[in-house]
Structure 1
Amino acid sequence: MDQIVEVVALLLSFVAWVMVGVTLPNRYWKISTVDGNVITTSTIYENLWMSCATDSTGVHNCREFPSLFALSGYIQASRALMITAIVLGSCGLLAALIGVQCSKAGGENYVLKGRIAGTAGVLFILQGLCTMVAISWYAFNITREFFDPFYPGTRYEIGEGLYIGWCSAVLAIAGGAILTCSCKMGTKEKYPLPLHTRGTVYSGAAPSRSQATSTYGQNVYV
């Protein structure tokens, strides 16, 4: 495996893991601005855990969602997927730190280290897929409600938290794919090359007396 490719994949996956950790508590998953006069202008924003509002004077007021079972199904599923993504990313980082060649952990068994690094790549890909599904599902419901002319509630738009989540998913999938492919290339069987010594190729068969004499000269021991 190319160590530079491994390090690049590890850095991409680490940045993706940090970004998904930033996305989960971010308050601006969806946002709506209620325009009025200067005093009553307010901004309403929500994420997976709470709903908040702020007015033109800068006063914030947040309330957590009271009941898990009272939430919409897509919010519950997005919570589970995002938490799963963080767990998968944590396990992937631990496995990658053991499996990369530049790490001293795991000993000198490079075949085993390559398999561990490949497993880490798969975990990063799963992290990206979980994040992508959660973010896209949440964004789909925002756009569906926004363009529904019969929707009676507040119309929201996509917030900055979703864009961070999409970037995290892309980086995680890219880093995991690069790490997995690099491990596959690094574990290809390499056939031994014949030994060359002073222009003479030695095979597995023992040399004959005439060959030995011509090779070593007249003082050869037989």
Structure 2
Amino acid sequence: MDPIVEVVALLLGFIGWVMVGVCLPNRYWKTSTVDGNVITTSTIYENLWMSCATDSTGVHNCREFPSLLALSGYIQASRALMITAIVCGTFGLVAALIGIQCSKAGGENYVLKGRIAGTAGVLFLIQGMCTMVAVSWYAFNITQDFFDLYYAGTRYEIGEGLYIGWCSAVLAIAGGACLTCSCKMGTEEKYNVPYHARGTVYTGAGPARSVGASTYGRNAYV
């Protein structure tokens, strides 16, 4: 594969990994809606870890969720998926830095480097899929409660943290797909030297003949 494509894929994976790190602690995964409210005295916003409120004077107060087991199942699953995405992205970056062709970290074994690059691509794909599932699942629950006419609790809208997560997932999946395509499953080196080994060639038109130094005539030697 073109080394430029590998470098671009590495940059996409790196940017996606950074955006996951920005998305996870972001407080605005969902914000309380003002739809249907004539007077709004406070704004509530939450993420996977805490719930915050801001009043009309600008004073805000945050509290962490008191119990892990008391949380909804989708929040617990989203936490696990986002942490998995960060871990896979970290290992993917290390593997990509070793596996790309322009890197000297993995030596000159291009077959091994290609397989390491392919592994990095798979890790980036896992990162992107975990992030995509986490933020999409979280957004689904927000929209489900918002459009439920019988829901009596606070209605929320999608916050900026989810948009960052979606962008991160797309970048990670794109970078992972490019790196996965660079995986070299063959056994030949990148630069092959023509070589004819001694042996026997079998042809259907006639008897077997030997291939080697004897195929050259005497006039071939100086």
Q: How does the TM-score come out when normalised to structure 2?
A: 0.84
Q: 1:73 & 1:66 partners in 2: Cα distance?
A: 15
Q: Which residue of 2 aligns with 1:207?
A: 216
Separation in 2, partners of 1:92, 1:77: 22
Q: CA deviation at 1:153?
A: 0.4
Matches within 5 A, 1:50-61: 50-61=50-61
Displacement of 1:121: 0.4
Mapped partners of 1:129, 1:166: distance in 2: 10
8 A Cα contact 1:68 1:76, kept in partner: yes
Q: Deviations over 1:74-102 (max 9, x none)?
A: 00000000000000000100111111111
SS in 2 for 1:61: strand
Q: CA deviation at 1:41?
A: 2.8
Q: Which residue number in structure 1 is paired with residue 31 of structure 2?
A: 31
Give the structure 1 partner of residue 172 of structure 2: 172
Figure out how many residues of one structure are paired with residues of the other and give that number.
203
Deviations 1:164-201 (A, max 9, x none): 000000100100000111234x9585776589xxxxxx
- AA in 2 matched with 1:54: T
Q: Which amino acid aligns with 1:105?
A: A
Aligned to 2:70: 70
Structure 1: gaps of 5 or more residues: 196-202
Q: Which one-letter code corresponds to 1:87 in the other structure?
A: V
Unaligned runs of 5+ in 2: 197-210
Query: What does residue 200 of structure 2 align with?
Result: none
Overall identity of the aligned pairs, in %: 81
Alignment map for 1:140-159 (pairs within 5 Å): 140-159=140-159
Give, in whole Å, the separation in 2 of the partners of 1:54 and 1:188. Answer: 62
Query: Structure 1 length normalisation: TM-score?
Result: 0.84
Deviating 4+ runs (over 6 angstroms):
none
Equivalent in the alignment of 2:9: 9
What residue in structure 2 maps to residue 97 of structure 1? 97
Do the aligned partners of 2:50 and 2:65 also contact (CA within 8 Å) in 1? yes
Of stretches 156-165 and 94-103 in structure 1, the one that deviates more from structure 2 is 94-103
| Contact 2:6/2:100 (8 A) holds in 1 | yes
Task: Give the aligned partner of residue 45 of structure 1.
Answer: 45
SS in 2 for 1:179: helix
Q: Secondary structure at the match of 2:103?
A: coil
Please state whether the residue corresponding to 1:45 is helix, strand or coil. strand
Q: CA deviation at 1:125?
A: 0.2
